[in-house]
Structures are given as structure tokens and as C-alpha cells.
Amino acid sequence: MQKPDRLYRRVKSVSEMDSVRVRKKAIERSKRDMALLEQFRDLWLNMQSFREQRARAFRFAYDDQWGDLMEYEGKIMTMRQYLQTTGNIVVQSNQVQEKVETMIGVITREMLEPQATAVDADEQAFGEIVSKGLQVNCKKNSMNELYLDWGRELCLGGLMAGYETWDSTSGPDGTFDSWSSYVNPNLFVMDCLMSDSRMWDATMFGRMIKCSFGKLAATFARNADDYAVLRSIFPEQYEPLKSKARLDSLMDRYKDGVLEWMKDEDPSVCVVLEAWTKETKPRIRLHDWNEGTEFIIDADDTAERKRIKQENQRRRAIAESAAESWSEDEIPYITGDGYGEDGFFIDEFWYCRFLAPDGTVLWEGESTLPGRNHPFIVRTIPMIDGKIQGFLYPVIDHNIIMNRAIVLHDWLLRAQVKGVTVVPKQILNGVDPKDFAKSWTEIGGLVFVDVKPGMEKLMPQSFHSNAVNFDVSGFLQTFSSMSDKSTAITDALQGKTPFAGASGTLYAQMASNSTTTVAAFLLKFHKFLELQHTKKMQNLLYYYDRKRWEMIVGQLDGEFDMATLNLDDLRYIHCDLTIQESAETPAFREIAEQDAKEMMNNGLITFDEYALISKRPWMQKLKQYRDARQQEAAAAPVPAQ
């Protein structure tokens, strides 16, 4: 082993390599990071077209499908307003919502639960403990409801964004725990230069937080001075009697996807920006040959470098005083490790800043999450050349044509029944034409006229044209079939009645293979959940203590911590535990129930073990009755012989 001459040679440009220090120096006086604020605004404006496209997709699924804008006689109006001005009855056939709910049904039918599986079979007991902790935390976060929100986003918007953090302010009960949140894509920004669909090359993520002043103070105020600063930044939002926005504005807040920068319709809402950027800093990677560990220090940390130098001198003195002489290569120094000189390297890490609307930095710091990662979980489709589009977005064009066909058919029928009525003016005899037309068209209306001799043939006459041969049902069926093919959502997947003459075996096979056509969609969704649960597992392993684990799984045998799992860094958690989704369907539970019962009947497991596996709600009650009888039998006096 070579003797370390110096851990790091000082150079004048070391501070220039620290991007955080450079940014802090630029805002040293004003304490306002205007450059980051402008960068956040640019990214937010770059996603404007995405927000409008997403809003249009959600409008077609859950709102007015005739809301697209058009120009008519020099005026900009919606298509609904145009049809109403022309006297048409506006009707719509919602094909988008039907398919969205079908895909949501596929997701909820599986009822996935996270399960931690150990890579090493000898550590599977740890995997079972972590699995129970994950499932308890998921129920605490009501993850099943979040799955529905994320599923709709992938269907219509094409972007799913989640947030996993450890704090006491994100949950409803004020306890420290791993909390999951749904991030509204309308308030989300990300790096627009990414080319990797896995987001590995991202350099910035952020979100716009809208909350009350009380929530803001609970998050950032640590003393009276902090509270006073927040009050000065948000003077209007601080007023306790500030008038609130109308309740009906909740449905229209993000209707068109056109949002004002750093503003909200409710004047009492505080707007804060949370920006996570990838920064750089010169650091040294060191290897302790005595402990067999690696650790990192800042390149300009003189105190730590001095301590390491003294430690190396102490180890050298011990080696020299040993009875057997040690060679220089055998002394276990703390040395630099890596490709750079003495372990020097430029470290990339995630850094968080919370900004007020005026650019004031409310809080900043390096990521404290396990793995030094950001808290966002983001997945998009199809993410080809940066394009983001909902899975069901192509259905909108088909739905528009179907709506037009329905309105056109209704117009043709009304025009055919109405016909054209010709009224000679000679017979009006002073009667107002409007009154005459009203009486003539009313059902049961009577019109009294004086007919002079020779004018009997001048009575009003109605002319009707022949019906236009417009097969609207066949037209709608054709485009409905086209929309199914464009999204690969088959009739069997939607649970529709099979066609006449279809055998039960054939339809069962079609239903079994129906999810094959949407396998890519489900793969993207499951990968998103896997990333979410992996971050949650890292939080639990890092922050939960032994008492917290015993509250979940009961008494623990032996120690259970990162050292037991041989983990020095949670970034390597995948080497020990991996996340898999267990299908908790009724059919799956019934199969497990039958297998466990058969093993108990064959003597392979006991009744107590079967009761732990069984999902029957009354099984634990039966076990309690059995245990009570055994205790009574054990306490009963033994009869004399």
C-alpha cells in the first residue's frame, strides 16, 4: 500500500467548483435567488402546451366536449356556443371516460401491495418485516386512492408525478413518517433537456406549492423571527379575515390549463416554489483500510483532513512500535480512493431550495433523504423526442367526429319534420306575421282568417323533402371500433357482452389475453409504483427505530437495522431487497387459502401457522376461542387417581 503524501493539493479554483457556494455568493446581500426564480419560470412556461393538452383531455373525459375554441363571424367562441347560436341541440357521447374507467378498473382489479423480496434467501425474514412495514405505511397514506389519481394522469395527461418525503407536516396527524403525495402536473416543472425516459439525466425538478399562511408558518417558522419574516413576505395572505374565493371556483381552477404565474384565484393562498437542482462540489472519496469502509469529505474541509492526517500518523506509530515490523504497504492508512488524484472528484448531488414569490430563499440545503436523492417520482409516456401524451388522447378526435355525427343526425331529423311552409300575404288580412307563425307552429294552435271568394287555393302549404339516407348507427359503430383499435382496449377488456355465436371458451381466452395489448401501459404504471415504494422502503429503513418496527411486527428476534442487512449506504438497497407487487386479488387469496388448508391437513403446518396465513376474518376469533379452551384445560385441577 502506498503512503499518502497529501489528501488534496490546494488550488485557488476550488471554490469555483462548488456551484452552491457560487450561487450563495451571488445572492449574499439580497438573499433573493432571482436567477433560480427565472429558471423555474422558464421551465414552467415551457410546459404550457403540455398543461393545455392535459386540460383538454380531462375536459373531454369529465367536462364539456364542445369546449374547443373556434372563430365565427369574427368572434372567438366555443363550439357549444356556436351550436347554440345556430339553434342546434348540443349532445355528446363520452367515449373517453368509458375507456379511462376501463383502465382504472384494470388497475384496481389487481389491488397491488408492495412486497420486499430478499435477494439472499437467508435474509427473507428481513424482507417479510419490511413488507409488513410497507403495507402498514401504504394503508396509512391511503395509497389505493393515489393509484387511481396516477392512473388517470397516465391515461389522459401522460405524466405521473409523486412525492415521497419524511416529515411531520405532510400528514394529517402531525407525526414523523414517510408520506406520499400526488403532485398536480399543472404545478409541476422538470428539466426540458432530458432524453432519458427514466429521468436519470434530469438536472431540475420542482413544484409550485399553494397553501394557507398557517401551513406555511408551520413548515418554515422555527422561531418568532422566522414568523415575522414570513408575515412581511406574505402580508395579504396573513390577514385572518381576508375574503375567500367562491366555492364554485374549485371546479374551474385548472379548467383550461392556463394558469397565472405565482398567482391564485384565492387571495388568501400563499404560493411557494420548491426547486430541486443538481449541483456540483469538489470532494474526496476516502478508503479506511482498517475498517473496510468508504466515506466522502468536502475538499475544503480542513478540520476533517487534519483529523485524518493525525489518524494516519497514529496508525504509523502503532505499526512502528509493534513487535514485528510492518512494511509500509501493510499499514492500514486512510487513503484516497477513486480515479482522481488522492480520491479527488467532482460530486453531483441534489440540492433543495424553497423560494417566495419575490425570490427570497425560505430554506435551502442538501438532500437529507436516503441515497441523497430528490423526493420526486416521475414517469411519462411515450417520452419519444420529448413528447408527452396521454394513453387515451387519440380517442378525442374520434369522439369529436361521433359528436358531430349525432348533432348532424338530430339536425337532419328536425329539418325533415319542419319542412318549409309557404304563406300567401293576401290571407294575413292585417295579422302580424310573427303572431301568425306562432299560432301556426304551436301544437293545437288555431288560426282564424277571412277567406275571400276565389282565394281558397291560397291557403298556407307545407313542403317536406325526402329523408337523407344517413346511417348514423353504423357510422358511430365504425368510429367506436376505430377508437378501440387506436388504444388497444378490446371489448373483452371492457367487459362487454360477446358477439352472438361466440363460444364461452373463446371469450374466456379473449378476456385472458385482453391485457396483453395494454402491457406497455401497465409496465410503465408498475415501474412508477416500484420507484415510489423503493423510496418509501429507504425512508423506513433509515428512520424507523427498533421500537417503531416492533409496533408493526411485534417482538423482533435479534437486531434489525442496516448493519444486519450489511448496508453501509441505502443507495445499494437493491443488493439486498427488491420491491415486487403482490396481486391481492380474491382469486389469489382463495388459492393461497386452499394450499394452506391442504398443508395443514397433511400435517406440514400447524393450525396456528394456518391462522396466520388465512385471510378469513373469523379465523383469528377461532384461534382465540381455541387458546381460551386450552388455558382452561391447563388450569383445571387434575382428578385424583
H-helix segments, 211-294: 213-220, 224-233, 235-238
* Grid cell locating 635: 388450569
Number of structural domains in the chain:
3
Read off φ and ψ for residue 106, nearest 5 degrees: -65, -40
Q: Residue type at 224?
A: A
Does residue 313 sit in the same domain as residue 413? no
Min mean pLDDT across 134-148, 271-285, 376-390, 563-577 is at 563-577
Give the domain-ending residue among 519, 545, 563: 519
Residue 152 lies in a domain: no
Residue 327 lies in a domain: yes
* Grid cell locating 574: 437493491
Three-state DSSP class for 465?
coil
Helix%, strand%, coil% for the chain, nearest 5: 50, 15, 35
> Which H/E stretch holds residue 316?
helix 302-321
- Cα–Cα nearest to 62, from 494, 396, 476, 394: 396
Does residue 342 sit in the same domain as residue 412? no
Looking at residue 156, the DSSP 8-state letter turns out to be: I
Residue 139 lies in a domain: no
Does residue 430 sit in the same domain as residue 515? yes
**pTM of the full structure:** 0.77
Does residue 511 sit in the same domain as residue 589? no
Residue 628 lies in a domain: yes
Residue 617 lies in a domain: yes
Residue 136 lies in a domain: no
Give the pLDDT band (50/70/90) at residue 350: very high
Give the domain-ending residue among 467, 484, 519: 519
Residue 241 lies in a domain: no
Does residue 434 sit in the same domain as residue 330? no
| Overall average pLDDT of the 38-55 stretch | 92
pLDDT at 247 over 60: no
Question: What pLDDT score does 38 carry?
Answer: 92
Read off φ and ψ for residue 19, nearest 5 degrees: -70, -30
Does residue 416 sit in the same domain as residue 342? no
Instruction: Say which residue the cell 367526429 belongs to.
Output: 401
Question: What is the residue range of 410's domain?
Answer: 405-519
Burial 100-122 (b: 16+ CB within 10 A, else e): bebbbebbeebbbbbbbbbeeee
Residue 296 lies in a domain: yes
Read off φ and ψ for residue 581, nearest 5 degrees: -95, 120
pLDDT digits (tens, 9 = 90+) for 146-189: 999 999 999 999 999 999 999 988 888 889 999 999 999 999 99
Q: What are the strands, taking DSSP E only, across 311-450?
A: 334-336, 344-355, 361-366, 376-380, 382-384, 387-388, 420-422
* Grid cell locating 305: 483532513
Q: Mean pLDDT highest for which of 83-97, 170-184, 395-409, 504-518?
A: 170-184
- For Cα atoms 61, 65, 69, give the angle at the middle one, nearest 5 degrees: 130
Does residue 507 sit in the same domain as residue 434? yes
| Overall average pLDDT of the 477-493 stretch | 70
Q: What are the strands, taking DSSP E only, across 326-401?
A: 334-336, 344-355, 361-366, 376-380, 382-384, 387-388
Give the domain-ending residue among 347, 374, 395: 347
- Does the N-terminal peptide bond of residue 453 adopt cis geometry, omega within 30 degrees of 0? no
* Grid cell locating 99: 375507456
| Overall average pLDDT of the 632-640 stretch | 70
Does residue 410 sit in the same domain as residue 515? yes
Contact of 331 with 315, CB cutoff 8 Å: yes
Does residue 334 sit in the same domain as residue 425? no
Does residue 429 sit in the same domain as residue 499? yes
Does residue 414 sit in the same domain as residue 510? yes
